[in-house]
Amino acid sequence: MKALILLADGFEDVQFFATWYRLQEDGWRTTLATPSGSAATGLHGYVVEPDSPLGELNPSEYDLLVLPGGGAPGRLRLRETAVGIARMFMEEGRRVAAICHGPQLLISAGTLDGRVVTCAPSIRDDVRFAGANYRDEGVVVDGNLITARGNADIPQFCAAIIGRSLVKM
């Protein structure tokens, strides 16, 4: 199984690292990508070197798209390549896992209409205006889409991604 993780400056460090390590622990091959292929710096100062720039990826090679929160989704949604990748995953029914502010990229991709999601409370109105049914829950699974509120929900978020039964599905 292959996972694609999109990053940009301002990503939430703990959401990225916990998910990335958990995927690797479960045997996933992960690819980290940034818009330009340059390193990304997290909210808490951790610097991550990507494997690839967004434009050089073939997204159809991946089984899972992971969108950590923080300020990165707000930056990624300004990049049409990132928006296109998110749209493709959602339209093709591929698995997408977005935590905290991660759904911002899905809003820009126009793919949340009618979906049931959770997110950081600060963007709940944004997901509602995008047509999503917001739930104030730690983790929500709606078909191929897995969303989580924030850091406190990381264990359940990771369990949902790898298909463990720590969350109700």
Amino acid 164: pLDDT: 64
Q: Is 87 helix (H, G, I), strand (E, B) or coil?
A: helix
Query: Cα angle vertex 144, ends 85, 109, to 5°?
Result: 35
Q: Is the pLDDT of residue 131 over 90?
A: yes
101 noted as active-site residue = yes
For 10-54, the pLDDT digits (tens) are 999 999 999 999 999 999 999 999 999 999 999 999 999 999 999
> What's the alpha-carbon Rg for the chain, to the nearest Å?
14
Q: What percent of the chain is helix, strand and coil (3-state, nearest 5)? A: 35, 25, 40
pTM: 0.95
Could you say which of 3.40.50.880, 3.40.190.10, 1.10.150.120, 1.10.443.10 is the CATH number of the domain covering 2-162? Answer: 3.40.50.880
For 59-89, the pLDDT digits (tens) are 999 999 999 999 999 999 999 999 999 999 9
Catalytic residue among 77, 79, 101, 124: 101
For 95-104, the pLDDT digits (tens) are 999 999 999 9
